[in-house]
Amino acid sequence: MSAATTWGYLESAPCSAPHPGPDTRRPGRRSHLRLVPTGPDVQASPTHSRVTRRGRLAITLLVTAAVLTLAMSLASGISAPTGVAQPTVTVASGQTLSDIAAAELPQLPVRDAVVQLQLANDLTSMQVHAGQVLVVPSAGR
């Protein structure tokens, strides 16, 4: 008999009492004493890794973060073609934003052309300075 055994009913019998034998109160019930092989009798069983709930959550979060990072990097690379040069104009001394709008975007009313110039150049006011370079947007924007 092997030295390694497991006891299933240690709680029911006191430690100093001898083993009472099979449970006679319930017919057909087996004893919980089981032999566990040791030494050369033990066969190496392949160990299967089990992923716990927390592990699955960690894997899911890592994959989601990787996909989002990839999507954001691809989206930033698609933004605007770099080979297209937009026309620019340099503000001369005494020139106003309305003068530039009328000269560069004659197909639009002056008010709309000024708004287009402000949006294209991130201007918060009508103030422009001599020597400032402004991007001229296309009229269809």
User: What pLDDT does residue 28 have?
Assistant: 64
What DSSP state is assigned to residue 83? S
pLDDT for res 86? 81
Q: Check: CB of residue 37 under 8 Å from CB of residue 2.
A: yes
**CB–CB of 105/139 below 8 Å?**
yes
Model pLDDT, residue 1: 47
* Domains, the chain, ordered by start: 1-38 (no CATH), 88-135 (3.10.350)
- Quote the pLDDT of residue 20: 57
Q: How far apart are CA 104 and CA 41, in angstroms?
A: 93
Question: Tens digit of pLDDT per residue, the chain (141 long)?
Answer: 444 555 554 444 455 555 555 555 566 666 678 777 788 777 776 677 788 999 999 999 999 999 999 998 888 777 555 556 788 999 999 999 999 999 999 999 999 999 999 998 988 888 998 999 999 988 655
